[in-house]
């Protein structure tokens, strides 16, 4: 059985595609690929392919943050991406992915939301980060988060004329304060792997996703998988995630 | 998170409700509160109240969800419309969907489900009153309900939140602390071997702070474990 | 304060592996025998735990009381108070030759009937019943109640002492299924039910026998 074979390899510090345990697949980042969106990026980690589109809309601020713009993140596990994805509203995995990517952006204060306020308590810019999975071969959170930050970096705010959005006149860049990088570390038996493929994810016992700032502070974490992990495991996984985040940061 | 306040949340080492940083709120636990369920429990941490009901192992339909070599766990975390200040519309939200998933992953590793192939254990958690740390309160209640139902477990599950306010690391965040904290970290673990089954965080912490808070939670969680054991034993004493 | 037998919890360490063999309701981790249930421990050569609650898990040769819930071509579906349905094949229920294509087998057992049967076999996903044992029969009239299946040995008592006392004092016929279903018929059915329910609720208490005697004498 293939998954038993993959498990055996990992237990011997080997991977089915020949990578090292902490090695990323070939990563490709392409920004500005969706012209109708105010910002966009397509990121590939090996065969995993994710597009993030950024749309800017006008809306009302949250009542408890009346002078700040609004961030909304969504994800769709479109059926084209995998035989396991079904049509319909987002399931728990898509919702979780969107919320985890959102946390990385929100808690890091990546976007300077105060600068997106147009009229306090009434009108602000809303930033919609929409994640579209094109092909699922594992590490969806990692690819989505990298695509999101890459897209945000190239996003431009459309011109506003008498309350109407003129989308073909893009003016200033979206003001960003920080650039969070999200890394997921997988645990298989007592080994840790980076950038798992879909097949590897089927043998993963647990994973820990960590969103990391430029100064190595952590702004979001999410444990996944059905197995238990020890305090020592957590320590090792956090350290590995921080180390690998530096590689991904170079791609921004 | 994201909300800022001028108000100090810690004054001279005391929190807004008078607690010390490593102090848990007043805890109340009861089992067998839902006669129709196979097992049930109600847990209160300060003003947060969660009730959990367990049905099963029972037959699982539709059949295609059945697993031939094991039972499965299904969970539902839900907040009652009257549980918060501004009424919540009934029905699942994106937040409750995510919490449902992480709750299931927090409880599953504690259960022996291979002994019940083709069946399901359904765990329903209702938050009756919310004042911070609802998901961990729900998990504490679910753990009691599962033991009450006679589902075989490798250990009880203990859950507690941790975080940071005014540069001080704390545990068991109440609602106000939850809203204004610099970081919020719910954790669930199996106490005998201190194995962690739920870990989430949002906010801003150094990795050292993350580790320190986890250690605070593993230590304070012992008290919750003792209370859980006491209330389960009490069910059979008069 | 009533004396209870010691109660153990899921995850509680019972003994070292050197001190005994792991029996029902336990598992081994880190060289220790640990309880899986909230229940009563039984120490001895085998260390086991009797759960105080939980569903009935069918075992071969168990005598159970079931309710016919469906009729198929070659047998009947029965609810045996367990997470899985059971099947009573025609061959295990009727001696004479039946041409099932021509016969309406509901004349033998129909939906709603209560049967006292044995579990013949359990194979991946299917539980087979049999009515061949001498004690097997359709139970007519009477009343059925359900108790936690792990309490059945306590209800029966040492060599039947408890159940016989109840039968005598209430002048009833009682059939106890290992699956926790109990069928009662006769004179003081209500009193018998009270006694059975008391055992279900207080099986862990020492001195239960006296309490039951008191209840039955009133």
**CATH code for the domain defined by C143-217:** 3.30.1370.10
| Angstroms from B51 CA to nearest CA on chain A | 23
Number of A/B CB contacts below 8 angstroms equals 102
**Model confidence at B2: pLDDT above 80:** no
The reported pTM is 0.92
| Angstroms from B5 CA to nearest CA on chain C | 43
Q: What is the spatial distance between Cα B125 and Cα B120, in angstroms, rounded to a whole number?
A: 16
Q: Report chain B's mean pLDDT, rounded to a whole number.
A: 94
Contacts of C27 in chain B (CB under 8 A): 112, 154
Topology of domain C13-51 in CATH is OB fold (Dihydrolipoamide Acetyltransferase, E2P) (2.40.50)
A223 vs B193, B200, B206: nearest CB: B200
Q: For the segment C11-31, what is each residue's pLDDT rounded down to a tens digit?
A: 999 999 999 999 999 999 999
Are residues B196 and A225, on separate chains, in Cβ contact within 8 Å?
no
Residues 6 or more apart from A240 whose CB is under 8 A from it? A22, A183, A185, A192, A194
Q: What is the spatial distance between Cα A55 and Cα A35, in angstroms, rounded to a whole number?
A: 11
Q: For the segment C131-188, what is each residue's pLDDT rounded down to a tens digit?
A: 999 999 999 999 999 999 999 999 999 999 999 999 999 999 999 999 999 999 999 9
Interface chains of chain A (3 or more CB pairs under 8 Å): B
Are residues C7 and B59, on separate chains, in Cβ contact within 8 Å?
no
Residues 6 or more apart from A70 whose CB is under 8 A from it? A59, A61, A62, A113, A116, A124, A125, A126, A127
Which residues of B lie inside 8 Å of C (Cβ-Cβ)? 38-39, 56-59, 68, 71, 112, 115-119, 147-156, 190-193, 229, 232-233, 236-238
Delineate the domains of chain B, giving CATH numbers in brackets.
13-235 (3.30.230.70)
Cα angle at C127 between C160 and B61, to 5 degrees? 120
DSSP string computed for C184-218: EEES-HHHHHHHHHHHHHHTTBTTHHHHHHHHHH-
Q: For the segment A85-140, what is each residue's pLDDT rounded down to a tens digit?
A: 988 999 999 999 999 999 999 999 999 999 999 999 999 999 999 999 999 999 99
DSSP string computed for C146-177: E--GGGHHHHH-GGGHHHHHHHHHHTEEEEE-
Long-range CB contact pairs, C71-79, < 8 A, 24+ = C71/C105, C71/C106, C71/C109, C71/C110, C71/C111, C73/C100, C74/C100, C75/C105, C76/C105, C76/C109, C78/C115, C78/C117, C78/C129
Q: What is the spatial distance between Cα B113 and Cα A129, in angstroms, rounded to a whole number?
A: 39
Helix, strand or coil, per DSSP, at residue C8: strand
Cα C45 to chain centroid distance, Å, stands at: 25
Long-range CB contact pairs, C104-110, < 8 A, 24+ = C105/C71, C105/C75, C105/C76, C106/C71, C109/C68, C109/C71, C109/C76, C109/C138, C110/C68, C110/C71
Are residues B152 and C25, on separate chains, in Cβ contact within 8 Å?
yes
CA R_g for chain A:
19
Which of A210, A218, A235 to probe by mutation at the B interface, max B CB count within 10 Å?
A218
Upper half-sphere CA count for residue C185 (Cβ side, 13 Å): 7
| Angstroms from B79 CA to nearest CA on chain C | 28
Cα angle at B223 between B32 and B139, to 5 degrees? 50
Minimal CA–CA distance to C4: which of C46, C41, C56, C57? Answer: C41
Minimal CA–CA distance to B202: which of C45, A182, C134? Answer: A182
**Model confidence at B238: pLDDT above 60:** no
Q: Which CATH architecture has domain C63-139?
A: Beta Barrel (2.40)
Q: What is the dihedral of CA A186, A191, A197, A202, to 10 degrees?
A: -80
The answer to whether the beta carbons of residues A68 and A86 sit under 8 Å apart is no
Q: Do the domains spanning C63-139 and C143-217 agree at the CATH topology level? A: no
How is residue B60 annotated by DSSP? Answer: -
Which of B86, B162, B204, B212 to probe by mutation at the A interface, max A CB count within 10 Å?
B204
Residue B55: per-residue pLDDT:
94
Residue B83: per-residue pLDDT:
95
Q: For the segment B93-147, what is each residue's pLDDT rounded down to a tens digit?
A: 999 999 999 999 999 999 999 999 999 999 999 999 999 999 999 999 999 999 9
For chain C, what are the domain ranges? Answer: 13-51, 63-139, 143-217
| Angstroms from B35 CA to nearest CA on chain A | 30
- Residue range A177-198: mean pLDDT, rounded: 96
């Amino acid at each position: 059985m293939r998954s038993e074979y993959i498990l055996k390899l990992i237990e011997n510090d080997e991977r089915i595609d020949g990578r090292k345990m902490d090695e990323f697949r070939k990563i490709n980042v392409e920004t500005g690929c969706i012209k109708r969106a105010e910002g966009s990026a397509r990121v590939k980690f090996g065969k995993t392919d994710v597009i993030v589109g950024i749309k800017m809309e006008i809306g009302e601020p949250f009542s408890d943050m009346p002078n700040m713009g609004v961030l909304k993140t969504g994800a769709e596990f479109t059926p084209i991406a995998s035989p396991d994805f079904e049509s319909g509203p987002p399931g728990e995995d898509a919702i979780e992915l969107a919320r985890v990517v959102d946390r990385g952006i929100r808690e890091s204060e990546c976007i300077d939301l105060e600068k997106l306020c147009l009229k306090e308590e009434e009108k602000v810019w809303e930033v919609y980060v929409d994640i579209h999975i094109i092909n699922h071969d594992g590490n969806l959170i990692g690819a989505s988060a990298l695509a999101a930050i890459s897209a945000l970096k190239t996003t431009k705010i459309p011109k506003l004329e008498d309350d109407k959005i003129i989308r073909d006149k893009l003016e200033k860049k979206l003001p960003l304060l920080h650039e969070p990088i999200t890394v997921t570390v997988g645990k298989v038996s007592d080994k840790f792997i980076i950038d798992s493929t879909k097949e590897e994810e089927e043998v993963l016992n647990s994973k820990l996703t960590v969103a990391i700032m430029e100064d190595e502070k952590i702004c979001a974490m999410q444990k996944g998988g059905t197995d238990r992990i020890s305090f020592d495991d957590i320590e090792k996984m956090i350290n590995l995630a921080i180390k690998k985040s530096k590689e991904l940061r170079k791609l921004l | 998170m994201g909300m800022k306040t001028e108000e100090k949340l810690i004054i001279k080492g005391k929190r807004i409700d008078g607690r010390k940083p490593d102090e848990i709120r007043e805890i109340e636990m009861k089992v067998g509160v839902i006669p129709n369920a196979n097992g049930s429990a109600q847990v209160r941490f300060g003003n947060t109240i969660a009730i959990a009901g367990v049905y099963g192992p029972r037959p699982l339909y539709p059949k295609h969800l059945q697993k031939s070599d094991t039972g499965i766990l299904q969970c539902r975390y839900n907040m009652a419309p009257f549980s918060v200040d501004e009424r919540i519309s009934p029905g699942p939200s994106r937040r409750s969907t995510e919490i449902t998933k992480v709750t299931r992953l927090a409880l599953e590793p504690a259960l022996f489900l291979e002994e019940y192939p083709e069946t399901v254990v359904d765990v329903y958690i209702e938050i009756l009153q919310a004042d911070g740390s609802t998901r961990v309160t729900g998990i504490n209640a679910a753990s009691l309900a599962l033991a009450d139902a006679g589902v075989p477990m490798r250990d009880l599950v203990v859950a507690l939140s941790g975080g940071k306010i005014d540069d001080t690391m704390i545990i068991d965040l109440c609602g106000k602390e939850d809203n204004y904290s610099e970081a919020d970290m719910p954790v669930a673990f199996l106490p005998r071997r201190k194995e962690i089954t739920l870990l989430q965080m949002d906010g801003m912490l150094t990795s050292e702070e993350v580790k320190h808070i986890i250690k605070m939670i593993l230590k304070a969680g012992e008290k919750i474990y003792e209370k859980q054991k006491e209330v389960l034993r009490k069910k059979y004493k008069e | 304060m009533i004396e209870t037998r010691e109660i153990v919890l899921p995850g509680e360490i019972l003994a070292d592996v050197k001190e005994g063999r792991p029996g029902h309701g336990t598992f081994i981790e880190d060289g220790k025998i640990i309880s899986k249930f909230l229940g009563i421990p039984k120490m001895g050569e085998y260390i086991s735990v009797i759960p105080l609650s939980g569903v009935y898990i069918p075992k071969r040769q168990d005598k159970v009381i079931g309710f016919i819930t469906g009729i198929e071509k070659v047998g009947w579906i029965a609810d045996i108070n367990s997470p899985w349905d059971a099947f009573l094949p025609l061959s295990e229920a009727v001696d004479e030759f039946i041409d099932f294509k021509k016969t309406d087998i509901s004349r033998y057992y129909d939906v709603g009937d209560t049967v006292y049967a044995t579990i013949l076999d359990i194979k991946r996903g299917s539980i087979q019943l049999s009515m061949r044992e001498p004690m097997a029969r359709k139970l007519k009239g009477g009343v059925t109640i359900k108790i936690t299946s792990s309490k059945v040995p306590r209800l029966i008592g040492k060599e039947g002492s408890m159940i016989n006392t109840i039968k005598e004092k209430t002048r009833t016929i009682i059939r106890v299924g290992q699956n926790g279903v109990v069928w009662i018929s006769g004179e003081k059915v209500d009193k018998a039910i009270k006694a059975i329910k008391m055992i279900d609720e207080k099986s862990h208490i020492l001195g239960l026998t006296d309490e039951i005697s008191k209840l039955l004498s009133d």
